[in-house]
Structures are given as C-alpha cells and as structure tokens.
Amino acid sequence: MIRAGILGGTGYAGIETVRLLLRHPEVKIERIVSQSYAGKKIAEVYPNLMGICDITCSALDIDDIAKSCDVVFTALPHGASKEVIPALYDKNLKIIDLSGDFRYRDVKVYEKWYGQEHSDPELLKKAVYGLCELHRDEIPHTRLIGNPGCYTTCSIMGLAPLVKAGVVDNRSLIIDAKSGVTGAGRGLNLPNLFCECTETMKAYKVATHRHTSEIEQELSLLAGEEIILSFTPHLAPMKRGIFATCYANLKKAYTTGALLELYRTFYKDEKFVRIYPEGSLPEVKHVSGSNYVGIGLTVDPRLNRVIVISCIDNLMKGAAGQAVQNMNLLFHLPEDTGLTEAGMYL
C-alpha cells in the first residue's frame, strides 16, 4: 500500500484529497496535518467522515512524515509550500503540491506574479507541471509535481488542441471564466460570505489574476512561441465548478465539425476528457464531483471565430482529483484508479 500524508488536510482541496484517498484501493492515509486543528479528529472538523475516518490531525513534523509516508500532498497556501517542500524533498519523499509555488519553469515569472522571491529556485527546476494530459511522460520521472490550478486546467485544456495545431491567431485568445466559491478556500473572507456572493456574479483581479501566467506558460510551450492572452475570472453563486468560455480567431475558415474532429484526435486516448458532439455543450453539473473535463465548441462563421466551452470541478480535476491522477502516474498505477465515479449532477 502507498502511505500518504496530506498537509493542509482541513482546507477544501485538502479534505477533498482525503475523501478521494479514503476510497483509493492502493492507498492508506497515515497523516493529516493541520496547524489549526492539531489534536482534533478529522471527523470532528468534517462530520461527514464520522465512522469512516478517525485519524487525529497533527502538527507538522518533517521527520515523522518522512518515516510514515511515501507520498505527501501539500495543500498549503501559496508561499507556505515552498518553505516546507525542500525539507520533504530532502527526505526522498514524493510530493504533489497543490499550491502555485512549483508550477513555473521560470522563477522570474513566479516572482513577478506572486510578488515574492522563491526560496528554492533550484528545486523549482526539478518540478514537473502536473497537467497529466500534457506532461504524462515527464511525471513518472520526478519526485515533485506542481499540481495545476483550477482555472488553468480548464482553460489550457479548452484551448490546447487549437494552439498546438496552429489554426488560430494566438494574439486573439480571450478567456472568460467563472468559478464556484470553494475556489477561494475555506478561510473567512467577507466577499465570499453567503449573502455577499449569492444571487450575484462579479469579476475580480481583472487583468492581474495569477493563473494568467500559468495558462500562458503552457500554451506557449504548445505553440512554440510566446502567447499573451486576456483572462478574466468571475465568482459565480455556486459551490464548485469552473466554466470557461474561450474565444479565438481562426486563421482560415473551419466548420464546427472539423474542429471537433481535431479535438477528438488530440484527446483520443484521454480517459477524463469528454468532447461533446456538435450542437451540444458541457455544463458544470455534468462534471461536478468528478475528475472529468467537458469540452464543446461552436464556430461563428460571421467572425471566423471559434468559441470553446470547457468545464471542470475546481476541487476535483482542478485540485484533488488531478493530484490523485498525478499520484497514480508517479506510482505506475492505472491513471484512473480511484477516480472513475460519475459526477453528482444534482
């Protein structure tokens, strides 16, 4: 059995990782680390686990984690992970980091968008960006995964086939994306309280959201040239989900059917990608609670523009589900182990 530890196990991404690992046939959870709830049983913090998991949360002890675990999921705030992970890495552990601290190929890009120095740029060079569908061959050969963000996973996967094939003007890319409130984490924050975010919708961090740089990094690698795009996130009155509407100008005339075939070819062996037939588009409820990505598109012939709709669950394929998918690759297990359940729909 793979022995797992979750650092930051009482946040939304952390507890979703716990939930998935509890039903994983090849994993035993050995440690749940939480500075805020050390000494409390996880079922006291999340009563849905009552009678299912009686692990007591513990404070961080690197030596104890190293003795007890084979893999560590670090569901810590941005900035905190990079202070903890080097010590875990030195203990020969495999690490899947759900923060943004090890997602970048260029430390200068990280420091620009996160507004802080990276404490271990040499270790950053050893990390692999954990978008499994794009970096599957690299993932098994590292011990440190930078698990992608939720907006980024949804947006990159929506645009990747077009950019890779060179059929769109890369200067025309626009992403309009909506997130469920769980994307903001579990901490108390006035704009995320129920009465502040229900029955409304709002844009935030317009032209400054950190995930912009992550999307640009991966699409630039696919295109073989630098891509700069427009990304606008919105908070939607739902608990979970990412809904990205992506726009791109076509270099020549294509039909919707032709581009859908391009997508089917690009993702032909991907277990978690669903390409919708012409005339049908994905919705958040189609993927909520699952590790699946729903993608559909339409060509607007008046403007010679393609509009791509991409949907994921931000806590699953956008965080914990993708982290478990990465773990499966790291340990040479079937990639969908523990992840094949259908979404909740309701």
Same domain, 176 and 244: yes
The pLDDT score that the predictor gives to residue 174 is: 98
Q: If you average pLDDT over residues 272-277, what whole number do you get?
A: 98
Same domain, 112 and 178: no
Same domain, 158 and 293: yes
Q: Residue 120's pLDDT band (boundaries 50, 70, 90)?
A: very high
The pLDDT score that the predictor gives to residue 169 is: 98
In a domain, 143, yes or no: no
Same domain, 64 and 158: no
Q: How many domains does the chain have?
A: 2
- Give the residues across from 234 on adjacent strands: 178, 203
- β-pairing, 293-300 vs 305-312, is antiparallel
**Residue 191 DSSP SS3:** helix
Q: How far is CA 120 from the centre of its chain?
A: 22
Q: Tokens 């079937």 belong to which residue?
A: 334
Query: Could you say which of 150, 154, 197, 311 is catalytic?
Result: 150
Same domain, 77 and 28: yes
The pLDDT score that the predictor gives to residue 188 is: 77
Model confidence over 84-119: pLDDT tens digits? 999 999 999 999 999 999 999 999 999 999 999 999
The pLDDT score that the predictor gives to residue 72 is: 98
Which residues contact residue 128 at a Cβ distance below 8 angstroms, ignoring those fewer than 6 apart? 135, 138, 139, 141, 142, 144, 145, 146
Helix axes 150-165, 256-266, angle to 10 degrees: 110
CATH at 189:
3.30.360.10
Same domain, 36 and 105: yes
In a domain, 254, yes or no: yes
Same domain, 17 and 101: yes
In a domain, 260, yes or no: yes
In a domain, 307, yes or no: yes
Model confidence over 169-184: pLDDT tens digits? 999 999 999 999 998 8
Same domain, 95 and 163: no
Same domain, 193 and 91: no
Same domain, 310 and 163: yes
Structural contact between residues 42 and 10, judged by C-beta atoms closer than 8 angstroms? yes
In a domain, 243, yes or no: yes
In a domain, 322, yes or no: no
CA dist 150 and 339 (Å) reads 17
CATH at 106:
3.40.50.720
Task: Supply the DSSP string of 26-68, one letter for each residue.
Answer: TEEEEEEE-TTTTTSBHHHH-GGGTTT--PBPB---HHHHHHH
150 has catalytic annotation: yes
**Buried b vs exposed e over 108-132: b needs ≥16 C-beta within 10 Å?**
eebeebbeeebebeebbeebbbbbb
Q: Which domain holds residue 83?
A: 2-126
In a domain, 201, yes or no: yes
**Residue 286 DSSP SS3:** helix
In a domain, 139, yes or no: no
Same domain, 82 and 195: no
Same domain, 61 and 158: no
Structural contact between residues 325 and 290, judged by C-beta atoms closer than 8 angstroms? no
